[in-house]
Chain A
Amino acid sequence: MIQFNYVCAFFLIVLGFYTIVTKYNLVKTVIGMSIMDYGVNLLIISIGYTPGGTAPIFTKGELTQASYFVDPIPQALTLTSIVIGACVTAMSMSLVMRLHESYGTLDTREIRRLRG
């Protein structure tokens, strides 16, 4: 049922978009960005999945039809993506802290000195 994974992944991405668009709290915006990231990670890992595959570790023995493994590249990509997602969260949370210090609020509707 790998299709279910795809649906869930896109659902998570859309949920992230929805959170960013509709929530006026900065912290919730950051949560939305994280959800978006997790959606993509799920998508990547699902794409690399092969039914019945083993861990992508090179063994000395002969490769047979029975011993095929999941695609290793998406797993590597996911690792990179997770790291980047963590960085995004850290960076945006530090910005949120500084914003709260200087604006005294977390409401995006009030953080709009730059407009027009």
Chain B
Amino acid sequence: MNLANMTDYHHFPIYSVMVLFLGAFIIASTGSKPSKDPKNPAGFRAWIALCATALSLFFLGSLVKPVMLEGEIISYWMGSRAIAGGYAIGIAMEVDALSLFFALLIATAVFVSAIYSIRYMVHDECVPQYYVLYCMLAGGVLGLVLSGDIFNMFIMVEILTFAAVALTSFRTKVYGALEAAFKYLVVGCMGSTAILTGVIMLYAQYHTLNLAQLANLVPGTMNNATKLAFAFLYIGFSTKAFIVPFHPLAADAHGAAPASISVLISGVLTKSGIYGIIRLTYFLFQTMNLGSMQFMLVFIGSVSMFVCVTMALAQHDFKRLLAYHSISQIGYVLAAVGLSTSLGISAGLYHAMNHTLFKGLLFLAAGAVLHETGTTDLGKLGGLSKKMPHTTVLFLIGAFSISGVPPFNGFASKWMIYQATYQKAVESNNIGFLLVTIVALVTSTLTLASFVKVTQSVFFGQMPKEYENVKEVPFGMRLAMGILACLCIVTGLFPKTVTGVLTEPAAKAVANVGEYITAMGFKSNLPVPNVTFAQVGVWEPINWLLILCIALLALTIPAVAGKYDRVSEHGGPLGAAIEMVSGKNDQPTVDENGEVDTKYQLFYGGEKNVYSQVGGGDLFWGFKHNWRHYFDFMHNLHSGIVNDYALWAVVALALAIVYMMIVL
């Protein structure tokens, strides 16, 4: 094999997976002796992991031109064992625009999180093993989305579940980490078993494991066994996507894992579940033209987005709150993808991408807070913006993005989702889809509310005394957050470019199943559909931002030239009184001549020292009071007992089976 052959880009998908597993192997074989550098306990192993993820990202990035822009589908047979006698004998990788889209997301998140890990994982034991599991997790997810073989998908699901469970409980001392890992393992294994059962039932019918061949054979020959297989596979991938009713596991796992792993669980693992559901419904069984299937996905998506956002409002742990939001955003993705219109798929994938970016950013910011203060309890934190100004700005960018404030990326994709759902409602003349638009819009506001809560109770408000010595996080961590923040802004400012290069090719690939089948060497009669991405609304972020900038400038010049030079740094009228009350400034202000400034003494009461930060749990009382029965009910429902969650999984499986039997 010569060099020219080896650098052929058709090999790149397998390279991108292999470098990660190879990295894991090398790190594991170097033993577990920590290095002497206190700033990087894993030593060179961290750099190996970083190089592996960077190489993986590079390989996938160089596939953008052939796959995304030129529309080629890379089919790759391991060991060149191609089709024999009309049956796929070998193991295949098949990379179409959809796979590559998800793979790029995953590789980016993994790379950024690896940068972050180097400085983040300094207080832990056994950091070398962390990087082994890290590379395994990354390789597992990447292998899942690039695979063209359904049994390989199952293997990768198992690898990633294992790595994720181990990493969730990596910090065994963290409150509830072991418990979260165990719950995740139990329900995750039920999901994996469901996938395996589905796979084997498909094999029993069609004697092949190749995705393309199955997609060629299954539709049109559906019987009860295939419907059963479909239900099993669907529930299996749902557990990986953590959509309702599997959301409590996500909350536990995200909250307990180290922040760099929460990024992967929320930004990457959930995407692999969504990818599995898309492959299943659009390709393998091609059931998405049925109204009942669209209803199912859109319904579950809407329920996920609403239930999880309300659950998030009731949380008082930073990372747990983010975890519920994560599933809420996955609900948006699922609802948009379930619309089965090309605009809907494009919008859903766009939101999936944005979700990876902004949720990664938010988890990293939460990790930064945890790294410096040692807690993520919203009730204990406060006023960190003066100590960690960069983290605050980066967090705010993430918070604006997830709440859909223009011109950040969350807005661009949510706006497309609203249009897609409303358009679908008009086209199908079904008022149900309109409800989805309304739920999505209201959910977006509730998301904003809960991020206002986080902003107020972590970064602004009053600072407890014990955080006087908190410092800004190291540069390596800020760099990782900065990359994600830049991506958040860029993808929000150029929605047309992003959709044109990334999501529209992927949406076209979803619509064009026939090509997926023929690219693998099978014959397909499926027609090539006509795909358009027409939108009714208009949104020009660049022009809009230009106007806003001019307006800001026009305002700032007179404001700065005018009275802003008179800013004085002693306490304001109320601020001074509160400082007295909270014991921060017991002495009255003294002016330059050494005389006591009596200007604000009017406000000095005789109150005792009181620390008066408004706790995160008490914000939005007016909202919670009206919904108290709902919140009480939900709190009791999420009991934290693993048996209950397992029961939900079984009930979901049973319901899915019954539903599939009836409607398919």
Contacts and interface: CB of A to CB of B under 8 A. Distances in A.
| Contact between A and B in the complex (any CB pair below 8 Å) | yes
Interface of A: 13, 16-17, 20-24, 26, 29, 33, 36-37, 40, 43-44, 47, 71, 73-74, 77, 80-81, 84, 87-88, 91-92, 95-96, 98-99, 102-103, 108-109, 111-116
A24 B643 contact: yes
Given A20-B190, A36-B193, A95-B182, 14 more contacts: A29-B642, A33-B190, A47-B200, A74-B200, A77-B151, A84-B192, A91-B166, A95-B185, A96-B182, A108-B641, A113-B179, A114-B251, A115-B640, A116-B635
11 contacts: A17-B646, A24-B643, A73-B203, A91-B166, A98-B178, A102-B172, A108-B642, A109-B641, A111-B179, A114-B640, A115-B638
B551 to A, nearest CB: 44
B165 interface: yes
B180 A114 contact: yes
A115 B200 contact: no
Which residue of B207, B251, B311, B641 has the most chain A CB atoms within 10 A of its CB atom?
B641
B169 A98 contact: yes
B94 interface: no
B362 to A, nearest CB: 20
Contact of B193 (A37, A73, A98): A37
A29 B178 CA distance: 15
Interface residues of B, number: 48
A99 B200 contact: no
Contacts of B151: 77
A108 B190 contact: no
A21 B155 contact: no
A22 B643 contact: yes
A116 B642 contact: no
B376 to A, nearest CB: 13
A17 B190 contact: yes
B585 interface: no
Which residue of B197, B314, B315 has the most chain A CB atoms within 10 A of its CB atom?
B197
A99 B320 CA distance: 21
Contacts of B209: 73
A92 B635 CA distance: 27
B203 A47 contact: yes
B404 interface: no
A91 B165 contact: yes
Contacts, number: 116
B382 to A, nearest CB: 22
Contacts of B315: 116
B472 interface: no
A73 B203 CA distance: 10
A74 B203 contact: yes
Contact of B646 (A20, A81, A98, A109): A20
Given A37-B193, A74-B200, A108 B643 contact: yes
A91 B185 CA distance: 9
Contact of B639 (A43, A103, A115): A115
B185 A40 contact: no
B162 interface: yes
Contacts of A36: 189-190, 193
A88 B643 contact: no
A46 B643 CA distance: 30
Contact of A112 (B201, B311, B639): B639
A21 B650 contact: yes
Contacts of B643: 20-24, 29, 108
B564 interface: no
Given A40-B197, A87-B162, A115-B639, A92 B255 contact: no
B526 interface: no
A7 B251 CA distance: 36
Contacts of B190: 17, 20, 33, 36
B178 A114 contact: no
Given A95-B178, A99-B178, A102-B178, A43 B193 contact: no
Nearest to B159: A84
B314 A116 contact: yes
B545 interface: no
B252 to A, nearest CB: 5
A113 B175 contact: yes
Nearest to B209: A73
Given A108-B643, A113-B640, A116-B314, A17 B162 contact: no
Contacts of B176: 113-114
Contact of B189 (A21, A47, A88, A102): A88
A29 B179 CA distance: 14
Contacts of B320: 114
Given A21-B647, A21-B650, A13 B641 contact: no
B158 interface: yes
Contacts of A74: 200, 203
Which residue of A44, A80, A88, A96 has the most chain B CB atoms within 10 A of its CB atom?
A88
A114 B179 contact: yes
A80 B200 CA distance: 13
A13 B182 contact: no
B25 to A, nearest CB: 17
B316 to A, nearest CB: 10
Which residue of B207, B311, B642 has the most chain A CB atoms within 10 A of its CB atom?
B642
Contacts of B218: none
A71 B207 CA distance: 9
A44 B646 contact: no
Contacts of A44: 196, 200
Interface string B155-167: 1001000100110
B277 interface: no
B415 to A, nearest CB: 33
Contact of B181 (A21, A24, A29, A95): A95
B193 A40 contact: yes
Contacts of B634: 116
Nearest to B169: A95
A33 B200 contact: no
A84 B158 CA distance: 8
Nearest to A95: B182
A91 B196 CA distance: 19
A74 B196 CA distance: 11
Interface string B281-313: 000000000000000000000000000000100
Contacts of B314: 116
